[in-house]
Structure 1
Amino acid sequence: MSQPQVEVATLEPTAAATVETVLTVKHWDERLFSFTVTRPASFRFRSGEFVMIGLQGDNGRPLLRAYSVASPAWAEELEFLSIKVPDGPLTSRLQKIQPGDQIYLGKKPTGTLVTDALLPGKRLFMLSTGTGLAPFLSLARDPDVYEFYEQVVVVHSVRKVSELAFREELSSGFAEDPLVGEQAAQQLHYVPTVTREPFKNNVRIDKLIESGALFEGIPGEARLDPATDRVMLCGSMDMIKDFAALLEGMGFVEGSNAKPGDFVIERAFVG
């Protein structure tokens, strides 16, 4: 017996958002999924930025939330990484999207997790928890990043192994990527850690730094140095605040688009 068709409202563009079509959806586990949507020709962004996306709310108006773009600035499609919140106003519905569905895409990407907000350095450390990996997926596939830094380190901390989204791509150094595959093979370092299941690394990022495990196989000293290292933070609010305080205590200065520094966080997600 065939399932009844669910009638999906056709979205209308607004002054602030275009209407895009969902192309692919991948469910990593019961808590995490990613999806790609069409990219309008007029949409320009810097790798690492975020944009508002969403669906139509119960009141008929767009229900939007900020999402980091996980695809690089050169990609023809836009990719996003999301958690599934059962009672979340947006994610409870967003997790049910299928290819062919429509979503709203904001017209004005912005953000501070960009290379423009950092001073020149030798090593770039991108520290993330959960879906905070998204902007770093964008940056790790941007050729400019490998021109700016000798070593690019993506650190991803999750609770369960199944939450290590894009693990295969990161582990291979984006070997199949036509633009960064060759450079990433030499310069990209992927450091996954899982805190609630057995895994090679099974401690939080701060413990990886303290023990020196985070720096294994990475040229340079086994510590963070504000003279040569640059750091980006994205993830839970507690993680970001703790690491910001830690870095400042080590002499790192927070940067912004207006005044580049040694480390950056995404203030829009922290408050």
Structure 2
Amino acid sequence: MANWQQATVLSNHFWTDNLFSLKVELPPQNFIAGQFVKLGLDINDKRIQRAYSLVNPPNTSYAEFYLTNVADGLLSPKLAALQPGDSVQVSSPATGFFTLEEVPDGECLWLLSTGTGIGPFLSILGTDAPWQRFKHIVLVHAARFSADLSYQALIESMQQQHPAQLRYIPVVSREAYEQGLNGRIPQLIQQNELQKAANHTIDKHSQVMMCGNPDMIKECKTLLESMGLTKNLRRQPGQITVEQYW
């Protein structure tokens, strides 16, 4: 059973009308980047809780979450309404196996995300491990509109710190977008457009982590398996590691 800690809201930043980042004050947490905790609020004498990945790297004095405000949701509208100084319950310890520790070595690490699924990848990239283990890292973030491509300043700072290693590819599906690619990740892989943009192939020397829309994950997994990659399991290491985000 999870333990609960009361955390104080530090900030609640809205990127768009529906996308927001909630930052809360917590003692440094010794979790593994890529893991998640639960956020909870007591509503009508009942604790409503949902699992959310941590965006921050381990051992910071805060916890950060990248969320979608679902209009008819039981919890997210309440989280979206939180202001600095308000309280929220956070479960402890963090858990989950969507971590780099579960991923075998490879030449190129592909991080494929949609929407708020980029959150755990930002946590992973905030640690030393990916930069030490992989020669090349490709971060792909797909969204419906360019306004939904959050955390641009953070990603740009990572590119500046690791210019020879990190390639960032934004993908937009519902409007023309000249700063990245247009379409959906599975089709862009199938057409070899994503690989061209990254200047890297996806093969058995790659490691692919995917987080976000279940349809994207399902389609990409099927496509990657047709290309000779296999699902990564502890008993049988492969090249495809997934997080079923909702």
Q: Fold conserved (TM > 0.5)?
A: yes
Name the aligned partner's letter for residue 19 of structure 2.
Answer: L
Q: 2:118 aligns to what?
A: 133
Change over 3 Å in CA distance of 1:256–1:18 after alignment to 2: farther
Name the aligned partner's letter for residue 20 of structure 2.
Answer: F
Q: Which moved more, 1:209-218 or 1:142-151?
A: 209-218
Alignment of 1:35-46 (within 5 A): 35-41=22-28, 43-46=29-32
Q: Which moved more, 1:163-172 or 1:96-105?
A: 163-172
Residue identity (%): 34
Deviation at 1:257, TM superposition (A): 5.7
Q: Does 1:151 align with 2:136?
A: yes
In structure 1, how many angstroms separate the alpha carbons of the residues matched to 2:202 and 2:220? 12
Change over 3 Å in CA distance of 1:97–1:253 after alignment to 2: same
Q: So what's the TM-score if we normalise by structure 2?
A: 0.91
Q: 2:183 aligns to what?
A: 203
Change over 3 Å in CA distance of 1:70–1:260 after alignment to 2: farther
Q: 2:6 aligns to what?
A: 19
Are 2:145 and 2:173, in contact at CA under 8 Å, matched by a contact in 1? yes
Change over 3 Å in CA distance of 1:256–1:72 after alignment to 2: farther
Q: Does 1:192 align with 2:177?
A: no
Alignment of 1:1-271 (within 5 A): 16-41=3-28, 43-58=29-44, 60-173=45-158, 175=160, 181=161, 184-200=162-178, 201-216=181-196, 218=198, 220=200, 223-226=201-204, 228-256=205-233, 260-267=237-244, 269=245
Deviation at 1:39, TM superposition (A): 2.2
Q: Deviations over 1:43-85 (max 9, x none)?
A: 3211111111121122x23211010111112433211100011
TM-align CA RMSD: 2.0
Q: Secondary structure at the match of 1:40?
A: coil
In structure 2, how many angstroms separate the alpha carbons of the residues matched to 1:25 and 1:256? 37
Change over 3 Å in CA distance of 1:15–1:159 after alignment to 2: closer
Change over 3 Å in CA distance of 1:258–1:122 after alignment to 2: same
In structure 2, how many angstroms separate the alpha carbons of the residues matched to 1:229 and 1:188? 14
Are 1:29 and 1:162, in contact at CA under 8 Å, matched by a contact in 2? yes
In structure 1, how many angstroms separate the alpha carbons of the residues matched to 2:99 and 2:215? 21
Give aligned pairs, total: 244
Q: Secondary structure at the match of 1:103?
A: strand
* Larger Rg over CA atoms: 1
Deviation at 1:172, TM superposition (A): 4.0
Are 2:124 and 2:130, in contact at CA under 8 Å, matched by a contact in 1? yes
In structure 2, how many angstroms separate the alpha carbons of the residues matched to 1:259 and 1:78? 33
Q: So what's the TM-score if we normalise by structure 1?
A: 0.83
